[in-house]
Structure formats: C-alpha cells, structure tokens
C-alpha cells in the first residue's frame, strides 16, 4: 500500500464510503503521518462513515480549529511586538492561509509562525522579537553563523512563555540556492489581510509553495504542500502565473508543481520521467504510516543539500557537521 | 506489519504492529479477555520497529512510535517488548486523546463513586490502586483517569497495571499467578511485572463514576493526612494532564468543576497496608 489511497480520498472523498476497517486504519495512519488528517476530515464532511471513524475525524477537526486559533494568536503577538518599528508583517504559509480564510487553510496543520520582512529590516525585527520574549533555540555558534551567512531566515526563535516557534524570513529560498527570486517584487506586491498584516499575492503564494516543495528540502510533508498548491491554484490565471514564475526563476518548478498537482489530486497530467520519480517519493508511505522506499528518500535528502549550496560549500558544511557528531541516518 | 493485534481499553482502541513476534505474543496472552475494537477501526496505531538498520536481528532493539511519537525516544531491548508496547499505547493517549481531560492518575470505584489518586512516578498511586482493586474496589486504571468534558464523570482506562520493583512482590502475594505477566528485569525503571486487572475491572471498562475524593499519595513517609488548597490542586492537575492545553476551554471548564466539587487530601504512608486503612478511613469520612 502506498499513499495513493490517501491522495484518492482527498481528490474524491466519495471513495471513502466503500472502505472496510483495514482500509480506514491505513487511510487514517497515512493521513496522520502526512499531517493531512484535518484536511481529510473536512473533505469527508458529513459523508456516511463508521461511528469509530466519525469520532476520529471529529477530533481531527477540533485539533485543526485549535491549530488555527493558536496560529492566529501567535501572528497577533508578533504584529504587536513589531508595531513599534514600522515594518509590515507578511505572513507566509499556513498562518497566512488561516488568517485570510483561504481554502488551503481549511483543516491544515500549522506548525511554526513564518513571517517575511525586507532583508534590511532583519536586525530591527530580531531585536524587537528578543525584547518581546522570544529567545534563540540553537546555542551552537556555527549554526548561528551558518543561518546568518547562507540562509533565507534568522535562526529559529521560540517564545519563552508560549513555547511557539517563529521563523523570520527575508527570502523564500536560501541565498545559496540556484534560483534568486525577486524578493523586492514579492514584498511590493503583497496584499493586505487585516490591519498591519499582509500575505503574498495569489501568484507569489504558488511560487513560494512550489519553491518550498521542489527547490528546497527533501519533500518531507510533500503531500500536504502539494495539497496547498492545489487549493492555491483555484481561480488563478495561468498566463499571469507563468509570467510571475519566470520573473522569480521558478518557471520549471511551478510547471512541475502544476503537473504533480493535476496528476495526484486532479484530472491527471502527462508526467515526465523526473516527475514520476518525485511522485514516487511523495507517495512513499504505507498503511501503518511508515516511510517506505528508504533509498529514494535518502537520495532526495542528499539532493536537498545539493540544491541548497554549491559543492565546495556543501563539502565544508557537511564536514563541520560531521565533526560535531551529526550523522545523516 | 509482520505481527499485529487490535484491542480496546476503556473508550480507546489500538492497532499495534511489531516487526517481531514476541511482543505481540506477550500482548495476546495478557490482553486475552479484552474486547476488540468496534467496527475494527482503531483510534491509534502503535508501531514497534527496529531502532536502526541492523537492529532487527543484531542486538535487537525497539523504537516505539505510531500516529504520535517522540523523535528522541530511547530504544528498548527486545526482551522488554511488552513494556515497549505499553509505552507505545500510553504515548498515543498522552499526545493524541481528545475526548476526555486526561489526568495522569490512578482511580478506583466503589458504590458508583470514584477515588482518584495522582502523583509522580514512585508515589505509590499505581500500587495502591492495584491493592484496592484486589480488596473490594473496582480498579479503573493505574495510569490515566479520563474526565468527561460534559458530565464531570471519571471514566476507566484499565490497561495492564505496571508494577515496579518492591510492588511486584506485594501484589504477587495477593493475586493469582495467571494474572501476573513475565518479569522484565533491568528496565530503565528497574524490574517491572504487569498485572492483568480482574474480571470486574475489564468487564466494566465502559462504566464511569462520579469522582468523590482526590488523593495525592506519597509512599515512604510516616502516616499523615494534610488538606490541599483548591489553587494548588488546580495547578498540580494541570501539570498531571497531558491534554489540558490541547483541549482549550472545555478542558479548563472540566478541571475547574472537578477541583471545585471533589475534596482533596495529601496522604503519606509507610506501607501498603497502612495506606489501604488510611484510604478506607478517608473514604468513610467523605461518604
């Protein structure tokens, strides 16, 4: 069993009415492992399901509501903390979707608070957050220097009282990545959600989600990120999206994201050989919620490092981490 | 997975999968009288997997995970597979249960009213509940008491009782051998032996009771009884609950009601027999 059953249930929730007990156990375990169980619960809605399943889905829905409430409170706290320095707060990902009431936010698991600010405001933002009770998570000077020199975000911070993390971004991709998105344009074209709160434009939301899924990281949580893209594509003008993606150097990634979205969650699409490999990695999960295809997963993990930095820098980084006792598996 | 078992404990159902046969065999033997999940659908999946690429055969060690897991959980020896399965189920409850306010507490019932006992590991709450369960009370659980969010009733979670070190001999002396599990020597918490709750406890696992008394037991001190203020009770119970924050307002309302309605005492005792006598006396007083 691969995660195809989960993908099918999200695409066409009517299929769940035919599931037996084993099918339900597998679907729920996969949905939890991929952090899609809240989304699944909302997709299934009021369809007829066994009583035991109904209770599980109700729990998932309540958890998602709490997630959204907590995420919005965290955004509110960050806005308050930054009110004095006149930097607009641009919400990214889950918190933005929840704050704006987008379909992508419905039932979505929301982890950390991700915000985007202009690079020149990073220092001010950092000090304002430290004053308001956030503190550093990592105490390793190498990690700290690494984030500041090469990454697109500050080292992660956590709020001492509320125990919630914030990631402060100045770009959507590491500085060492091959693509260099036009961040000035992204920030200039941001759209307001509420007073003092902004999010990316509809096209830029997709560019960000596609970059996050395919140009950065090892595709962990990829089915959730791809579901975001499916929802964000609603009502988008394809030619406007293509132009915007090209401007950020992300045309290939946005194109692939659209093909994968259509193939897995939509009406189907013609997939290239490379698309199929990515799809196989996305679906590498079994009915016990276990990760499958270990070699493929490992290859994508290696690739994620490769994408993030040029070979010489990567070698130096991995050697430093290895000396500090970090092992990849 | 290669070996699997589904079972129901109180209101919660589990599907336990294991790479190895032995942990599941041990579970099947000890949980023989427990019912299977209604509809065959489990609330939680628990997995006992090899802790590393070669750890299935070579010095086999278990990584406990499932729907909910802790990335930095310490691996366990295959010899302690039964304990690993128990810990896996506890982990799912602690991190994932939302239908009651979960209190890290033991509980017993008599005449439709429940006695709840909470305290750190080693306080004696487990042993005391097990002893009362053999002496005319109904054992509701030694690990979690489930507080109903609407009615305020306490519901049972009568999993196997986990007896540690000196408590093993105390209970083995008054329990039939067939209800005692194998000795797991040298675990992280010392020697452990599981006790299967009696027929009454398992048969009535769906039956709740109105909480009538809350105790904070402390083993190993001269006998003493102290009053505990409501503010302190509230704070200690928020710490004893793993889902208080996750439940939000309903959790707050349920806990507030519990604290306001249920009298609380801290009790010290030097031995199990004295503890039982003390509990019986306090129970009559609050009657």
| Residues in chain B within 8 Å Cβ distance of A52 | 13, 37-39, 41-43
Distance in Å, alpha carbon of B14 to nearest chain A alpha carbon: 10
Query: Which of B1, B41, B67 minimises the CB distance to A32?
Result: B67
Residue B126 dihedral angles phi and psi, to the nearest 5°: -65, -50
Cβ separation B98–A33 shorter than 8 A: no
Evaluate the CA torsion angle B56, B62, B68, B74 in order and state its sign.
negative
- Write down which residue in B78, B96, B114 finishes a domain: B96
Determine which of A27, A35, A220, A289 to mutate to test the interface with B (most B C-beta atoms within 10 Å): A289
Taking CA–CA distances from A25, the nearest residue in chain B reads B41
Listed residue (A183, A188, A175, A191) closest to A208, CA to CA:
A183
Same domain? For B205 and B117 the reply is: yes
Whether B264 and B215 have beta carbons less than 8 Å apart is answered as: yes
Residue A29: which residues within 8 A CB-CB, separation 6 or more?
Answer: A287, A288, A289, B45, B67
Q: What ipTM does this complex have?
A: 0.94
Distance (Å, rounded) from C-alpha B86 to C-alpha B181?
13
Cβ separation B98–A50 shorter than 8 A: no
Residue A35 in 3-state DSSP?
coil
Same domain? For B149 and B264 the reply is: yes
pLDDT at A236: 97
Tell me the two tokens of residue A3: 């995660």
Same domain? For B179 and B215 the reply is: yes
Residue A240: which residues within 8 A CB-CB, separation 6 or more?
Answer: A203
Whether B275 and B128 have beta carbons less than 8 Å apart is answered as: yes
Same domain? For B65 and B112 the reply is: no
Same domain? For B175 and B87 the reply is: no
Residue A179: which residues within 8 A CB-CB, separation 6 or more?
Answer: A173, A211, A215, A248, A249, A250, A253
Evaluate the CA torsion angle B241, B247, B249, B253 in order and state its sign.
negative
**Strands of A89-91's sheet, edge to edge?**
A134-136, A157-159, A165-169, A113-116, A89-91, A197-199, A191-194
Tell me the percentage of chain A whose pLDDT exceeds 70: 99
Cβ separation B98–A63 shorter than 8 A: yes
In angstroms, what CA-CA distances link B119 with B124, B223, B261, B267? 8, 17, 20, 11
Same domain? For B86 and B129 the reply is: no
Under the banding of pLDDT at 50, 70 and 90, the label for residue A139 is confident
pLDDT at A304: 85
Under the banding of pLDDT at 50, 70 and 90, the label for residue A223 is very high
- Pairing mode of beta strands A89-91, A197-199: parallel
Q: Does the pLDDT of residue A1 top 80, yes or no?
A: no
> Which residue ranges in chain B fall short of pLDDT 50?
none
pLDDT digits (tens, 9 = 90+) for A203-215: 999 999 999 999 8
Same domain? For B106 and B53 the reply is: no
Same domain? For B189 and B156 the reply is: yes
pLDDT at B253: 98
User: Which residue carries 């054992």 as its tokens?
Assistant: B139
Residue A134 lies in a domain: yes
pLDDT digits (tens, 9 = 90+) for A180-205: 999 999 999 999 998 889 999 999 99
Cβ separation B66–A289 shorter than 8 A: yes
Q: Which residues of A touch B (CB under 8 A)?
A: 20-22, 24-25, 28-29, 32-33, 50-53, 55-56, 59, 62-63, 66, 69, 288-290, 329
Q: Pick from A69-78, A317-326, B52-61 the range whose average pLDDT is largest.
A: A69-78
Determine which of B14, B40, B45 to mutate to test the interface with A (most A C-beta atoms within 10 Å): B45
Distance (Å, rounded) from C-alpha A56 to C-alpha B35?
19
Cβ separation A290–B15 shorter than 8 A: no
Listed residue (A61, A71, A74, A70) closest to A106, CA to CA:
A61
Instruction: Name the domain count of chain A.
Output: 1
Cβ separation B41–A29 shorter than 8 A: no
Query: Which of B1, B13, B248 minimises the CB distance to A52?
Result: B13
Q: Does the pLDDT of residue A311 top 80, yes or no?
A: no
CATH assignment at residue A92: 3.30.460.40
Cβ separation B248–A69 shorter than 8 A: yes
Distance (Å, rounded) from C-alpha A222 to C-alpha A214?
9
Residue A328 lies in a domain: no
Query: Which of B15, B41, B98 minimises the CB distance to A59?
Result: B98
In angstroms, what CA-CA distances link B245 with A20, B102, B237, B242? 34, 11, 12, 8
Q: Does the pLDDT of residue A329 top 70, yes or no?
A: no
Q: Does the pLDDT of residue A79 top 90, yes or no?
A: yes
Same domain? For B115 and B223 the reply is: yes
Q: Does the pLDDT of residue A294 top 60, yes or no?
A: yes
Q: Does the pLDDT of residue A325 top 90, yes or no?
A: no
pLDDT digits (tens, 9 = 90+) for A98-124: 999 999 999 999 989 999 999 999 999
Q: Is B248 on the interface with A (CB under 8 A)?
A: yes
Domain that includes residue A261, residue range = 4-323
Instruction: Name the domain count of chain B.
Output: 2
pLDDT digits (tens, 9 = 90+) for A266-287: 999 999 999 999 999 999 999 9
Determine which of B2, B36, B41 to mutate to test the interface with A (most A C-beta atoms within 10 Å): B41
Residue A215 lies in a domain: yes
Helix (H) or strand (E) holding B145: strand B144-148
| Residues in chain A within 8 Å Cβ distance of B49 | 290
Under the banding of pLDDT at 50, 70 and 90, the label for residue A141 is confident
Domain that includes residue B273, residue range = 100-286
Q: Is B80 on the interface with A (CB under 8 A)?
A: no
Length of chain B: 287
Same domain? For B78 and B119 the reply is: no
């Amino acid at each position: 069993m691969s995660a195809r059953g989960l993908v099918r249930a999200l695409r066409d929730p009517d299929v769940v009415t035919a599931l037996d007990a084993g099918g339900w156990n597998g679907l729920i375990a996969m949905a939890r492992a991929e952090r899609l169980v809240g989304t699944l619960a909302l997709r299934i809605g009021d369809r007829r399901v066994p009583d035991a399943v109904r209770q599980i889905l109700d729990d998932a829905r309540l958890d998602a509501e709490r997630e959204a409430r907590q995420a919005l409170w965290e955004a509110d706290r960050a806005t308050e903390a930054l009110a004095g320095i006149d930097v607009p707060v641009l919400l990214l990902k889950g918190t933005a979707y929840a704050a704006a009431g987008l379909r992508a936010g419905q039932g979505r698991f929301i982890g950390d608070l991700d915000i985007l600010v202009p690079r020149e405001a990073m220092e001010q933002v950092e000090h304002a957050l430290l004053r308001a009770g956030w503190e550093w998570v990592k105490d390793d000077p190498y990690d700290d220097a690494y984030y500041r020199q090469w990454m697109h975000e500050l080292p992660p911070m956590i709020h001492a009282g509320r125990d919630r993390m914030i990631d402060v971004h100045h770009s959507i991709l590491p500085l060492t990545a091959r693509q260099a998105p036009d961040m000035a344009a992204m920030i200039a074209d941001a759209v307001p959600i509420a007073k003092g709160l902004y999010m990316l434009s509809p096209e830029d939301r997709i560019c960000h989600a596609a970059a996050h899924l395919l140009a950065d990281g090892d595709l962990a949580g990829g089915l959730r990120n791809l579901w975001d893209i499916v929802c964000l594509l609603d009502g988008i003008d394809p030619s406007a999206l293509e132009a915007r993606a090209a401007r950020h150097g992300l045309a290939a990634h946005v194109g692939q994201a659209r093909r994968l979205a259509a193939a897995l969650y939509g009406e189907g699409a013609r997939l290239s050989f490379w698309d199929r490999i990515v799809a196989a990695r996305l679906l590498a999960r079994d009915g016990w919620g276990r990760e499958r295809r270990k070699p493929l997963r490992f290859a994508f993990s290696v690739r994620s490092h490769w994408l993030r930095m040029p070979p010489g820098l990567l070698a130096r980084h991995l050697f430093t981490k290895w000396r500090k006792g970090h092992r990849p598996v | 997975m290669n070996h699997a078992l589904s079972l129901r404990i109180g209101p919660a159902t589990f599907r336990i999968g294991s790479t190895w046969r032995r942990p599941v065999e041990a579970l099947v033997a000890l949980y023989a009288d427990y019912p299977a999940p209604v509809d065959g659908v489990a609330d939680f999946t628990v997995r006992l997997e090899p802790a590393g690429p070669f750890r299935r055969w070579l010095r086999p060690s278990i990584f406990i995970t499932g729907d909910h897991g802790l990335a930095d959980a310490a691996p366990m020896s295959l010899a302690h597979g039964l304990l690993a399965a128990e810990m896996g189920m506890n982990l799912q409850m602690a991190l994932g249960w939302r239908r009651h306010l979960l209190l890290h507490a033991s509980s017993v019932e008599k005449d439709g009213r429940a006695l709840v006992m909470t305290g750190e590991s080693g306080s004696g709450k487990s042993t005391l509940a097990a002893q009362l369960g053999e002496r005319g009370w109904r054992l509701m659980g030694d690990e979690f008491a489930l507080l109903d969010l609407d009615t305020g009733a306490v519901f049972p979670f009568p999993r196997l009782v986990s007896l540690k070190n000196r408590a093993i001999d105390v209970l083995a002396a008054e329990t039939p051998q067939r209800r005692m599990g194998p000795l797991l020597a040298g675990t992280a918490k010392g020697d452990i032996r599981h006790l299967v709750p009696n027929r009454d406890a398992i048969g009535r696992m769906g039956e709740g009771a109105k909480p009538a008394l809350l105790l904070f037991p402390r083993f190993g001190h001269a006998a003493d009884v102290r009053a505990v203020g409501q503010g302190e009770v509230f704070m200690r119970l928020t710490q004893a609950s793993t889902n208080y924050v996750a439940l939000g307002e309903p959790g707050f309302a349920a806990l507030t009601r519990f604290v306001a309605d249920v009298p609380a005492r801290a009790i010290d005792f030097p031995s199990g027999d004295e503890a039982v006598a003390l509990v019986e006396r306090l129970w009559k007083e609050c009657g």
